[in-house]
A and B are shown apart, each in its own frame.
Chain A
Amino acid sequence: MPSTPSMPVVEMTGIGKSFGGVPVLRNVDLRLDSGTVVGLLGANGAGKSTLIKILSGVYSADSGTVSVDGQHLGSASVTEAQRLGIRTVHQELSLVPSLRVYENVYLHAELTKGRRTPFAPLDRETMIRESRHVLRDVLGIEVDVRATVEDLPIATRQLVEIARAVHERAKVLVLDEPTTSLEAREKAQLFQVVRDLRNQGVAVIFISHHLDEVTDLCDRTIVLRDGAVVVDAPTAELSARDMVTAMTGRLVDHQYPKKQVELGEPVLAVAGLTREPVYRDVSFVLRRGEILGVVGLAGSGKTELIRGLAGSHPAASGSVTRNGSAVRLGSIRQARRLGLIYLPSDRKVAGIFPEHSVAWNTTISALQRIMGRFGLSPTRELSTVNAAIDEYGMKVSGPDQVISRLSGGNQQKVMLARSLLGNADVLLLEDPTRGIDVAAKNDVYELITSLVEAGKSVVLVSSEETEVLGMCDQILVMREGRVRANLAASDTSLPQIRLIAMSSEGDDE
């Protein structure tokens, strides 16, 4: 444990922040001492990222003060926060991939020979020497500083980004979910760097959903819930269960329009499905009328699993049985022919045809259904789409409305209509309610319910555990590429799911 005498580097007091009248942070106090690592925990929407953004000068707080080394941080200014020594390493790295390591370390602070003007010749030798010094002597990592960043593994890139922060004499280093895409060995290396920095007096804020890492690395742990600090204690005094309980709190009982449907025969059975290194040995049985939920943190393999079932990123090994016969899900078209249809979470990127109409977007997967004597029949298309508009309760001005003008919820209804016209029997839904307002969310849940009532089956991958708990019959909890538990929804709870998803402590459950 650090022997450096602690003194506060950052003091945030009484921080409050609202967006559009909705309070996101309420009277938050955060004290950071030099030479300590503080873990910041909280469920999605608890206010972690807003708090970090206020500290790093992206937002300004509505109330309260931020001071760094006794200096007041005024209105939102990233430059000012950086000048005071606050550095944030985001999940999406801010390196320029096509440049070399040392060029990135000195980005926007390039050394030149002679006067510092934009067209002065670069002083490469010094930049290379200094970058090497920071990386090797300060951080203890062996990297060729002349290597191009895009050729480096993600973990090394992260360390380069940290090197840049260190080089610019960061006093406070904020690591925002740095371990999501790292393997065990890389994590160990990152943690060693963080410990070294702590011993050199840097204050570190470590944001993670992985409780084992927080326990392992952090001296102190702060838990945010609904925009307020609910726990601020030495990590040694907290168990993973305590952390989950603090994050979850008293549950607000949200009513999901879940109906118990008589489950039929198995429609999809999967055994030993593996795609290294993202998931391995996944097995489950999905029955007619069933909703199977898959939960896990980012990087747990749940997204890759559903894409494997969709055929877009096929599994490397394992067996799949569809309605009793062995099949292969080797491509999107193969999976679709078997009635497995995938709805991606990012509708804008992978779902809609933005400049085209609701009709176009609805019928694109089932054009043979609207063929008339002279090719595609506008009248058949109109009647098909009008029926879908009624059936799915789309709020549109008509079949001709351009889809990009619709709300997220209505776009999602179009996507559901498209897959069912395309003969979906097993719907693979990935975060189907992301970016959708509350009322439309409920519409989507009701649509899902009516689908399973009509004999369809659903695999629902979601980053909202409550949604899975409320809508599903069977729940797979994934962590680090493996299914850690297969639970009946009626027989589990949010804290149990979170504990298993977030910590090895949950494996005894």
Chain B
Amino acid sequence: MTSTPTVPSGRVIAPRAMAGLRRVVGLPGAGVTIAFLVLCVALAFASDYFLTVGNLTVVLRQSVWVAIMGIGMTFVIGMGEIDLSVGAILGISGLAAAIWIQSGVNIYLAVVAALLLGAVIGACNGLLVTILHLPSFVATLGAMSVLRGIIMVITGGVPVYGLRYPEFQFIGQGFIGPFPFPVVILAAVFAEFAYVLYRTPFGRHVLSIGSNAHAARLAGISLTAVRVTVFMISGLLCAIAGVILASRSEAATADAGQGMELDVIAATIIGGTVMTGGKAVLYGTVVGAMLMTTIRNGLNLLGVSPLWQQVVIGAFIIISVAGSMLASRRADGDA
């Protein structure tokens, strides 16, 4: 840039701004955030109702389940594994809480027990992957089917209704100040696990295993302990989501969480976490979850049929992941 002085200053700023922009766009999770903001602006123009406090609260609340489970999934995928049983764990822990409460167990005890159940199921997934060396895809696919089956056996397809106890209702419906309690839970979970992922040796170990498990083993990392713990975290977070859902709907239905594993995986991948592991973008997952809810919400406001919403969301997943892969390939110098 030796010729800079002869060039009018406005022209110099432009490439600098471009470089700055490119740096921002290159940041992990930037893609999903930009897409989210663009969508919000577009919807604000398209629908008068979108930017109301009421609607935004709805969007945030509806994202909570996928976001909380997505935080667990971010650990799992960051470690180079997958967990297909998340929706089923959500279902069975919500059901367990409901049954225990209805049979007279102390509400707090029932909730804690349901959370433990989720963690134990997650740990079992981890043991299948580490001790039996099953691919996590297979182990958790099997677990999903087993858990769904158990739910059907227990309920016979009939929901457990009538969870109208103020302490329990508060979990999914209460407010702390202006904030819905589920959103507070999400914030707390996010803060805790952002710390775990980025500021503890454990978090580094998780991503190191995702990056190169062989090297991680030689570096002295205990693959078994880390893997089991990560699946346990995923199970625990699904149970939290399950309890929130049961509280919100005051019931536990047999199909709770069905198909949700796909939304959770999609939110994680859209958020910038690499499918093959090694890199994880935790806030990207939360934004990814909100983005998907917003798309649904926006299409609803615009009067688009729910049948078409599936098509739009599917196309969006493909386009966004293809776009981010293209961007990272360019960043690698087309290597």
Contact = CB atoms under 8 A, between A and B. Distances in A.
A375 B200 contact: yes
B155 interface: no
Interface in B190-225: 195, 198-201, 204, 207-208, 211-212, 214-222
B212 A332 contact: no
Contacts of A365: 219-220
Interface string A346-385: 0001111111100010001101100100111000000000
A368 B201 contact: yes
B91 interface: no
B222 A353 contact: no
B72 interface: no
B242 interface: no
Contacts of A65: none
Contacts of A350: 212, 214-215, 218
A418 B222 CA distance: 17
A422 B204 contact: no
B218 A376 contact: no
A336 B212 contact: no
Contacts of A342: 218
A47 interface: no
B279 interface: yes
B220 A355 contact: no
Q: How large is the interface on A (under 10, 10 to 19, 20 to 34, 35 or more residues)?
A: 20 to 34
Interface in B155-204: 195, 198-201, 204
Nearest to B278: A355
Contacts of B279: 355
A352 B222 contact: no
Contact of A355 (B199, B201, B211): B211
Interface string B234-268: 00000000000000000000000000000000000
A73 to B, nearest CB: 35
Interface string A397-425: 00000000000000000000010001000
A422 B278 contact: no
Contacts of A336: 220
A351 B219 CA distance: 8
Contacts of A376: 198-201, 204
A200 interface: no
A354 B274 CA distance: 13
B218 A356 contact: no
A146 to B, nearest CB: 29
A418 to B, nearest CB: 7
Give chain B's interface secondary structure class: helix
B201 A418 contact: no
A432 B216 CA distance: 19
Contacts of A156: none
Nearest to A368: B201
Contact of A418 (B216, B217, B219, B274): B219
A332 B199 contact: no
A508 to B, nearest CB: 40
A312 interface: yes
Nearest to B277: A355
B208 A353 contact: yes
A235 B201 CA distance: 61
Given A352-B215, A367-B204, A375 B220 contact: no
Contacts of B212: 349-350, 352-354
Contacts of B208: 353, 356, 360, 364
Contacts of A113: none
A299 B175 CA distance: 69
B211 A349 contact: no
A5 B141 CA distance: 67
Nearest to A335: B220
Given A350-B215, A354-B212, A333 B222 contact: yes
Given A354-B211, A356-B278, A374-B199, A344 B204 contact: no
Contacts of B201: 367-368, 371, 376
Nearest to B274: A355
Contacts of A356: 207-208, 211, 278
A312 B217 CA distance: 9
Q: Which of A310, A332, A364, A367 has the most CB of B within 10 A?
A: A364
A374 B198 CA distance: 11
Contact of B204 (A333, A351, A360): A360
A352 B211 CA distance: 9
Residue with the greatest number of chain B CB neighbours at <10 A, chosen from A310, A354, A376: A376
A422 B218 contact: no
Nearest to A356: B211
A354 B218 CA distance: 15
Interface string B87-120: 0000000000000000000000000000000000
A95 B271 CA distance: 42
Nearest to B211: A353
Contacts of A312: 217-218
A349 B220 CA distance: 16
A403 B13 CA distance: 32
A353 B218 CA distance: 12
B199 A353 contact: no
Nearest to A350: B214
A351 B215 contact: yes
- Max count, chain B CB within 10 A of own CB: residue among A332, A344, A355, A360: A355
B218 A364 contact: no
Given A365-B219, A418-B219, 6 more contacts: A312-B217, A349-B214, A355-B274, A364-B221, A375-B195, A376-B200
- Sort A-B residue pairs by CB-CB distance and give the 3 closest, nearest first: A375-B199, A367-B201, A353-B211
Interface of B: 195, 198-201, 204, 207-208, 211-212, 214-222, 274, 278-279
Interface of A: 310, 312, 332-333, 336, 342, 344, 349-356, 360, 364-365, 367-368, 371, 374-376, 418, 422
8 contacts: A332-B218, A333-B220, A333-B222, A352-B212, A353-B208, A364-B219, A367-B204, A376-B199
